[in-house]
Structure 1
Amino acid sequence: MKVSINNKEVETDAVTLLQLTTELSLPAQGVAVAANNRMIPRTEWADYALSEGISIVIIKAACGG
């Protein structure tokens, strides 16, 4: 299915947010994810179903200032 990740169209086989983050090799800590402009708590990633065309925003924490 095609989803939008940080405004870029991506093809994925993932059906849940947790599968998507694993597929993208995101780190276990320091990452926040929003789906359709709603922050999704990490505890809900395994149960959050993806759908065709969903808009995902991934924010990674960075050190420095």
Structure 2
Amino acid sequence: MELKINNNFKQFESVQLSVQELLDLELPGKQNGIAVAVNHQVIPKPIWKNTLLSENDHILIITATQGG
């Protein structure tokens, strides 16, 4: 499966991934303070496990940072 993550194309061996599975692969242990959008739609954290991704989906992962 090919996905576009933060404007970079990435290939995955799995045919089916949920948002949570993608985050487990891309950001293991660093999932607090992030927001995820799939095809310009924000996905609430409680449904990451149940939201399945499709070939060529556009994923935006935003990480909160400290500072000011």
Task: Using structure 2 for the length normalisation, give the TM-score.
Answer: 0.89
Are 2:25 and 1:23 equivalent residues in the alignment? Answer: yes
RMSD of aligned C-alpha atoms?
A: 1.1
Percent identity over the alignment is: 34
Which has more strand, going by share of residues? 2
**Equivalent residue pairs, number:** 65
Are 2:55 and 1:52 equivalent residues in the alignment? Answer: yes
Partner of 2:6: 6
Task: Using structure 1 for the length normalisation, give the TM-score.
Answer: 0.93
Q: CA deviation at 1:25?
A: 2.1
Runs of 4+ in 1 over 6 A off after TM superposition: none
Show structure 1 runs of 5+ residues with no match. none
